[in-house]
Every structure is written in C-alpha cells, then in structure tokens.
A and B are shown apart, each in its own frame.
Chain A
C-alpha cells in the first residue's frame, strides 16, 4: 500500500459557530438551484415583462405629472404607483413568473435529497433539522422574490424617481414598504408549500405537478366558479386571488364587487394557514427523516 498522505496535519484552527451552519446549507442550495437551466431561464425571462411594465409606468407617470390633480380626479385616473399592485396580481405580471420559479426552484429542494440519501450526509453532521430547513427554504424564497418582489421594488423606485417634486416623492415612498410587504408575502406563500410538497416525494416531477395543481386549479377553476356563482368562496384557496385581496387593502384600492374579491381578513387567514401548514408538514417530515438506514 503506497503512502498517500504526505505531510498530514490535523486541523487545529477555529471551527465556525454551530449556530451559523444554516448559512453553509443555504449557500450550497442557492448555488446548486440557481444553476438549474429552468431557473436560469426564469431569471432571464422575468426581465422582459418588467421592461414593459417599466415603460408603461414611465409614460403614465409623465402624464400624471403633467396633469393637475383635480383634472386627474375628474377623469378617474389612478396614480401610476398603483401599477405595482397590478403587477402583483395580473397574469402577465408577477404571479406566473413567481409560480414557475417556485415550481422549478422548489420542486427538488428536499425531494432530491430524499432520493439521494442526503439526509445521512447532513444530519450525521452538527446540523439541526431547523438549520437544514432554513437552508432549503430561504433560497427558494430569494429566487421567487427575485422575479416578483425585485421587479415590483424597481417599479416602486421608478415611480418615486418620476415624482413631480420632493413632497410628492416623500408621499410616494410609502410604495416601497407596500411592495416589500406584498412581495415578501407572495414569495413566502409560494416557496413554503412547494418545499413542503418536496418533502413528501422523491421525484421532483411529482412535486412540480402537485404544486401546479395546487396553484392553478383554485386560481382558474375558482375564478370561473366565482363568476358563475357570483360569490368569492370558490376562489378562497386561490393564492393569486388572496394576494389580490390583501394587496388591494394594502394599496387602498377599491376592487369592484363584480370581481368577487375574497375578504382580505379571510385571505390573510388562508395564506397564513398555508404557510403554517407547510412549516408544520416540513417539521414533521424532517423529524421522521432516516439518517442511519438499517
């Protein structure tokens, strides 16, 4: 047997703190997820709609600035700052990209580890289940936020930059925390369920299919049935419909009753329930993760 380790010396330096190991998991998950072709495609494709929304916002803001407030009110025009809200709820805005990003980035988050026996790799080391969970969920949240919250913040900043004067700019600054709140909520409410579903299966394809069903079915079918039955309840499980209701409350927009909006407290409860349920499922599944296969 040949001697292979020339000059071996045990490591005697400082170890990184135990509490910060989630960052190692997060960094690795983010790097490996962001390398996936469909995730890269989503990151690139998400640029185009925001360019369109930016141009529309620019034109609208210029017109708004040139119009006296009384005339705008008489014409029923809306402050272009509200375009950020419409970006969040329109099918040609954030929801589709956020949904696709969540599906591609989150589908394999835990399913890939289950399939490859990686629990043994992680949990035989000084990593807690909670740290692993944070390291797996946060990258998906960040990537979803990159295609929904990021562009929305950009739009809100553009709106502030196109203010009539400093006083108007100060007034418009409130658009930033609104976008931040709605965007964060959207990123969380999409990322948590898809990662939770990912803990249920070994195949990312099944996870993506289940998540697409969870997202699309209440949105499309619920929307259609709301129109037919003329009440909001068929769409009560629709993530976009609930985000729309909460966003409308946040932006102070009166949604016409003919749109049958879900009451915002109900919407908040439904989305909160989805997030809490997802976290509970994740904790349950990870607690049962087999580290030493017998």
Chain B
C-alpha cells in the first residue's frame, strides 16, 4: 500500500530564493500537523502537493506522481484555505453544489451532497442564506464544507480556526477531530496554533527555513531526549532528596516544592525511590516529564539551528531534518 505523502529531495526555487531545500519525508495517513513559522515554506509545500508549482525532486500523493497527474490528485483532495474563498451572491447550498460539480460529481448528486455536508458542518438551517452575510465562524464552516463536499481522501486545512472566538474554535476543532472517523479522510493541518495541532494530530512535520526539521509522531517528538526527566514531589524536605539525587549523578532543578530530576544515562526511575528510601523521604508524586508541543518545537528548532551553525563552522553539510526523524523514531522504538 502506498504512502499518503511521499516526498524525496523536493526543492523549490523562486529566482534566487530557495524556498524548499530538499524536503524528504513520508506520511502514512491519519492526521498530520504541518508546523512552522511564517516563511518556513508551508504554503509552498501545499502548492507542491496540489500540483500547482513546478519543482525539483520527487513528490507522490496517494502514490500518484504530482508532476504527471496533478488534476487526478486535486480530484481526491479537499482544500480549505486560510483566507476567504467564497463566491459573492451565492448561498451556501449553491456554493457547495458548485464546488462538488467542479470536483466531478454529477449535478443532482452534487446538490444532495451539498445539503448533507452543510448539515454535517452545522449550517443546515442557514444553508439558503447568502454567504456574504455569514459571521466569521459560519464562513469557516462553509469553507470546510466546500472542501469536504466531494468526499476527498485527503483534506488540506490551512489555519482552520483562524479568527474564531473560543467557543467557535472549540466547535471547529471538535468537528475536525471527528472527520477521520466519520468521513474516512486523512488530514494535513497547517496551523500556528500548537495546542490545536497537539490535540488533533498524531504526526507532525516541522518546517523551518524551507527544511524539514522533524517528521514523525508527536508523541515521539515530545518524548525525545526528555524521557529521563521526572517531576518529583515529596512530603517534606525536598532539599534533602535533591542533595541525595545530585550525589547519585542526577541533575536537579528546584521549582518551589517541585523537583525536576534528570537521571544519568542508563539509570531508571527506581534510582529516585532508592535515594528517597535512603534519606527517609516520602515521595508523593512522580511523573515522567513530557514536553508540550510548543516546547518540543522550540527545542528542535534550536538544536537544528545549533547543529547547522556548528556544521557550517566546520565547513560540512548542514544537518537535515532526516536526522531528527531518525532520532525520534529510535526513541519511539526504544519506548
């Protein structure tokens, strides 16, 4: 079975500007977050995946070569853009039916699907209203509806919660969360809102300055290099335990009553209990520390940047995202 996305050494130049620098990654399916600051190359990557830009290298979506059959790929993809893309003077039903027809559904089927998808997106009772008069939240929903109406196998969502109030954002996030199960489509979600990505996605692709800094599961990204750090709370005298742990080679950071204990290499969590027992300190709380996606994002970018600078100083080839992916997979495999 072919991968959902399979990119190999994809380069894109805009004149002298090197927008994508040898992107190589694979996505098997599911929900994937596309992360990166402005100018990272996310939009260029989406254009490449939709077959809208010439590029160097090899890119396949659903196993189809993007360069050879871009329209076949676009027929199977639904795209929800960040900015408004509605046609003036149309109501939601006309708009979605038109979208479905453009994607290849026959007229009558397009109309019935338009009704169904607007119901699904929570616009059933507003479907005959002109879109021009919709609120921001309703416009976001109708954008999602037009992307879904033709039953795409892959949904590209570009900042789907942009401009929504907290309640609207929660509803949109829940709606997106339900899509793979209820519509059977894979999702590639481009967003700056890391909590949304963390909640919705199993995998992430981290782009920075046109390079893939990480591609793999979010779980592995958060665990990478941090699984030996534990948050510890004790009944009293945390200072005594901290000293004992430091004597055993641990690095301990104190945050009030909380100790962040980083174990030495190859040591297990039992070391903390051994030290506590020796010092007669009662451990009340012990939890492996997990990075938030945001912290993991910052760490990966910092590490990759430092590695690149070091390589450049040595005159070698800068480290690429593939390395990050490998380390993450190793962590994943090692549990």
Contact = CB atoms under 8 A, between A and B. Distances in A.
A120 B109 contact: no
A125 B74 contact: yes
Chain A interface residue count: which class?
35 or more
B178 A1 contact: yes
B40 to A, nearest CB: 10
Contact of B104 (A8, A21, A294): A21
B87 A5 contact: no
B85 A1 contact: no
Interface in A1-46: 1, 4-5, 8, 10-11, 13-16, 18, 21, 24-25, 28, 32, 35
A126 B85 contact: no
Given A121-B86, A292-B47, A4 B119 contact: yes
Contacts of A293: 43, 81-83
Interface in A265-294: 291-294
Interface stretch (B94-102, B211-219, B292-300): B94-102
A83 B106 CA distance: 46
Interface in A101-153: 112-113, 116-128
Given A4-B119, A291-B52, A116 B102 contact: no
A24 B98 contact: yes
Contacts of A21: 102, 104
B182 A8 contact: yes
Interface string B59-86: 0000000000001101101010111111
A113 B83 CA distance: 13
Nearest to A21: B102
B244 interface: no
Interface string B36-62: 001000111011001010000000000
B24 interface: no
Nearest to B104: A15
Contacts of A294: 38, 42-44
B79 A126 contact: no
Nearest to B95: A121
Given A18-B75, A125-B74, A293-B43, A24 B102 contact: yes
Contacts of B127: none
Nearest to B40: A294
A121 to B, nearest CB: 4
B16 to A, nearest CB: 18
Contacts of B90: 32
A4 B52 CA distance: 34
A18 B105 CA distance: 11
If over half of A's interface residues share one DSSP class (helix, strand or loop), that class is named, otherwise mixed; here it is loop
Nearest to A3: B182
Nearest to A4: B120
A4 B151 contact: no
A118 B150 CA distance: 18
Contacts of B105: 11, 15-16
B244 to A, nearest CB: 49
Given A10-B184, A32-B89, A121 B83 contact: no
B151 A10 contact: yes
B71 A124 contact: no
B137 interface: no
A291 B50 CA distance: 10
Contact of A127 (B102, B124, B171): B102
B103 interface: yes
A16 B75 CA distance: 11
Given A291-B50, A292-B46, A18 B71 contact: yes
B88 interface: yes
Contacts of B82: 293
A13 B104 CA distance: 10
Given A8-B116, A11-B150, A120-B81, A126 B109 contact: no
Contacts of B120: 4-5, 8
A169 to B, nearest CB: 42
Interface of A: 1, 4-5, 8, 10-11, 13-16, 18, 21, 24-25, 28, 32, 35, 112-113, 116-128, 291-294
17 contacts: A1-B175, A4-B120, A4-B121, A5-B120, A8-B183, A11-B109, A11-B150, A13-B106, A24-B101, A25-B102, A112-B88, A116-B86, A117-B84, A124-B74, A126-B74, A292-B81, A293-B82
Q: Rank and list the top 5 A-B pairs by shortest CB-CB distance, nearest first.
A: A294-B43, A15-B104, A124-B79, A126-B71, A120-B85
